[in-house]
Structure formats: C-alpha cells, structure tokens
Homo-oligomer: A and B are copies of this chain.
C-alpha cells in the first residue's frame, strides 16, 4: 500500500474562496479600480465581494505580503502608493534576476514556447488596441524568462515584483508609450535565445531594461510633478 506522497499544490490557481477572492481583488487593484492610497473598508468590501469579513482579512494578508496593499495597525488596509524608489528597486530586482536567467538559459527549455506565445499575444493585442492585454502579455514574456531558471522561489518572487510594477504602471497615462517601443525587442531577444546566442540575448535584455526603466521613471516624475502642482 503506497500512500500518495504529496498532494499537488499550485498557489496560482484558486484553492478555496480566500485565494479565489484574492485573485479577483488583485486583478481589480492592478487594473486601477481603486485610487492609490485609498482605504479599503472591511465591511463594505466584504459585502461587495460577497465574502465574510474573516475571509476578506485572509485576502488582505495575501495581498499585503505581495506589496499591493499596505496595512496600518488599527487603521486597516489601503492600496499601496507606488513610489519612484519602489519602481527603482523593482527594476534593480528585474535586472538582477532576468539577465542571468537569460544568460544561463537552455535554448530548448520548456519556457521558451511560452515566451513565443507571449510575443504573438502581445502583437495581437497591440493590433486590437487593447493595451491592458499588451501589458499582460509583456509581463508574461518576462515571467517566462525567469521560468528559464526552474527556480520556484525566483519565479514567485519575480511574479510579486511584477504585480507591484503593474500597479505603478496603472498610474501613468498613455500606456502605449510604455510598451510600444519594446514589443519588437521581445521578439529579437526570443530569436537570439532560440539561436543559442544567450550572451547576446542577455546584453540586449539588459539594455532593454535600462531603457524601459528610464521611460517609466520620466513618466513617473512628470506625474509626481503634476500631482504636486495641483
């Protein structure tokens, strides 16, 4: 009699109402349905989401750990306010993880097809003018790059950082400026990888991240100036 060693566990697909609701609220937050810094009332949000206050509290713990919400004791949770320091930190993490992941990648890794899918999906979404879908596809591309490492911890950590970054992107207007110049770059990086030119692909990705960071930071600085002036 052999006992099943480990019950399969994928933290992404919803197990139970709490994580299911967490996925729903996470999508809402990333989509910008709440203003940054907005306080989330437990009673009211629990009613809106049709879950109990206890379950919503578990959801809050989840998303607070992910950096999408912030928790002030006895004052409840509110949507995180992205900062330039935070964006800078996230890009640093991206560079640290993504570039070596690509440099040491095996060109026939199982994640490569996922990168290809993300590229075509991004192009299709761009043609359809759906910039939110473009953003999702772009992030899926980079998540696939990290998946090249086969490291569960790096993958989870990166997913978290990306979620925070998308929250920051939601603040900026004209998202097409953010993604449009980089879609073709993804395709080039993918080609270099499949051709086995991993070193070339890695340097290309590094410059990609540098430019992307600069674009985002300037847009962010413009936004903060505007917010300060009024």
Which residue of B15, B61, B157 is within 8 Å of A58 (Cβ)?
A: B61
**Is A96 an interface residue when CB atoms closer than 8 A count as contact?**
yes
Q: When the two chains form their complex, are residues B97 and A151 in contact, meaning their CB atoms are under 8 A apart?
A: no
10 contacts between A and B (CB under 8 A): A6-B81, A7-B72, A58-B58, A61-B61, A62-B65, A67-B153, A89-B151, A92-B151, A96-B97, A153-B157
Q: When the two chains form their complex, are residues A75 and B153 in contact, meaning their CB atoms are under 8 A apart?
A: no
Q: When the two chains form their complex, are residues B153 and A90 in contact, meaning their CB atoms are under 8 A apart?
A: yes
Residues of B within 8 A of A154 (CB): 92-93, 96
Interface of A is mostly: helix
Q: When the two chains form their complex, are residues B153 and A89 in contact, meaning their CB atoms are under 8 A apart?
A: yes
Please provide the chain A residues from 49 to 63 with a CB less than 8 Å away from any CB of chain B in the complex.
54, 57-58, 61-62
User: What 1/0 mask marks residues of chain A from 56 to 92 whose CB sits below 8 Å from any chain B CB?
Assistant: 0110011001010011110100000100000001101
**Is A127 an interface residue when CB atoms closer than 8 A count as contact?**
no
**Is A9 an interface residue when CB atoms closer than 8 A count as contact?**
yes
Tell me, in angstroms, the Cα distance from A15 to B75 when the chains sit together.
12
Supplied contacts A65-B65, A96-B96, 7 more A-B pairs, CB within 8 Å: A6-B81, A7-B73, A9-B70, A54-B54, A90-B153, A96-B97, A96-B100
Tell me, in angstroms, the Cα distance from A7 to B74 when the chains sit together.
11
Q: When the two chains form their complex, are residues B161 and A72 in contact, meaning their CB atoms are under 8 A apart?
A: no
Q: When the two chains form their complex, are residues A9 and B153 in contact, meaning their CB atoms are under 8 A apart?
A: no
- Give the interface size class of chain A: 20 to 34
Tell me, in angstroms, the Cα distance from A97 to B149 when the chains sit together.
14
Tell me, in angstroms, the Cα distance from A54 to B52 when the chains sit together.
12
Q: When the two chains form their complex, are residues A153 and B71 in contact, meaning their CB atoms are under 8 A apart?
A: no
Tell me, in angstroms, the Cα distance from A62 to B57 when the chains sit together.
12
Q: Distance in Å from the Cβ of A73 to the closest Cβ of chain B?
A: 5
Q: Distance in Å from the Cβ of A72 to the closest Cβ of chain B?
A: 5
Q: A61-B61, A65-B65, A157-B157 are in contact. Are A9 and B93 (CB under 8 A)?
A: no
Q: When the two chains form their complex, are residues A151 and B93 in contact, meaning their CB atoms are under 8 A apart?
A: yes
**Is A16 an interface residue when CB atoms closer than 8 A count as contact?**
yes
**Is A226 an interface residue when CB atoms closer than 8 A count as contact?**
no
Tell me, in angstroms, the Cα distance from A173 to B162 when the chains sit together.
40
